[in-house]
Amino acid sequence: MQGFLIVVHLIIVVALVTVVLLQRSEGGALGIGGGGGFMTGRGQANALSRATAILATLFFATSLIMSILAGWSRTPRSILDSATPPSTSQQQQAPAGGSVLDQLKKLENEKNQAPAAPAPAAPAPADQNKP
């Protein structure tokens, strides 16, 4: 049903745009203006304005119907039901307090205070070096 209604809606949209573009511009600043055609004068204005009104009404009706149909498929739910509490690992990783800058300074101080000396190398046994 929705697919058919979308196709009908798109046809109405294309027709409405076409009818609006066919209308004669009052100011003439943006429109082509002037000239004669197969429909001239008052008859053209009445037919195009009537077609615009009908297509606009159909556009509004199909928009409302599509909105109502989309609303039927939704079930009401609470935002609070979908919220999950933070896991314990996230709570343990969270710092006790302070700003991010304070936390970075603390980490840098810890890194600087740790000894950077290399691990001592194990001495080679003397028995293996003798022939």
Q: What is the pLDDT of residue 58?
A: 96
- In which residue ranges of the chain is pLDDT below 50? none
| pTM for the whole structure | 0.47
Contact present, 58 and 13 (Cβ < 8 Å): no
- Separation in Å, CA 79 to CA 24, 76, 82, 83: 51, 10, 5, 7
Q: What is the pLDDT of residue 7?
A: 95
User: What SS3 class is residue 66?
Assistant: helix
